[in-house]
């Protein structure tokens, strides 16, 4: 178990997960007892296509150290085209983040199906290690301090 997965020096990571695939993949990883970092706080949404880019920007501006969005694989969306809309919006957002003074490496999006528990574990571990290498996000002037305790 690495220092990241042991809970040492946890950072504030937010994950927006599709209910049908990625949340199921995270659940599969948990049921399979795969060792995972504990930094990620999951927000469950019906579809990755429902992730408004402003959710990500607000999370980063209000103190999240990293944001991960995960949904169904392309052509496997339960709402037919939701993940195509998400991919288009999220790619534009990733290119826009430096304009806001946010390192684009603090944001990732990926596709994980409900049966891919091991893939979920790899994705979340890699993303957490990436954010830990970047360190905590600097507090932006004027941004309110939010309570990030366990919910």
pLDDT in tens, 21-80: 999 999 999 999 999 999 999 999 999 999 999 999 999 988 999 999 999 998 888 888
Dihedral sign, CA of 82, 148, 123, 103? positive
- At 110 the three-state DSSP class reads strand
Query: Which of the pair, 90 or 147, is modelled with greater confidence?
Result: 90
Q: Tens of pLDDT along 101-120?
A: 899 999 999 999 999 999 99
3-class secondary structure, 140:
coil
Distance CA 29, CA 147 (A): 28
Residue ranges of domains in the chain, CATH in brackets = 13-134 (3.40.50)
Instruction: Return the SS3 of 64.
Output: coil
């Amino acid at each position: 178990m690495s220092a990241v997965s042991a809970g040492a020096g946890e950072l504030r990571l937010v994950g927006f997960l599709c209910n049908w695939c990625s949340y199921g993949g995270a659940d599969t990883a948990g049921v399979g007892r795969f060792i995972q970092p504990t930094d990620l706080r999951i927000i469950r949404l019906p579809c990755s296509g429902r992730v408004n880019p402003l959710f990500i920007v607000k999370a980063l501006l209000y103190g999240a150290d990293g944001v991960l969005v995960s949904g169904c694989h392309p052509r496997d969306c339960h709402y037919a085209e939701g993940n195509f809309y998400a991919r288009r919006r999220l790619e534009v957002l990733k290119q826009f983040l430096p304009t806001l003074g946010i390192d684009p490496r603090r944001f990732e999006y990926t596709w994980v199906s409900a049966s891919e528990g091991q893939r979920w574990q790899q994705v979340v571990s890699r993303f957490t290690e990436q954010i830990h290498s970047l360190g905590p996000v600097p507090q932006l002037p004027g941004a309110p301090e939010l309570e990030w305790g366990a919910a």
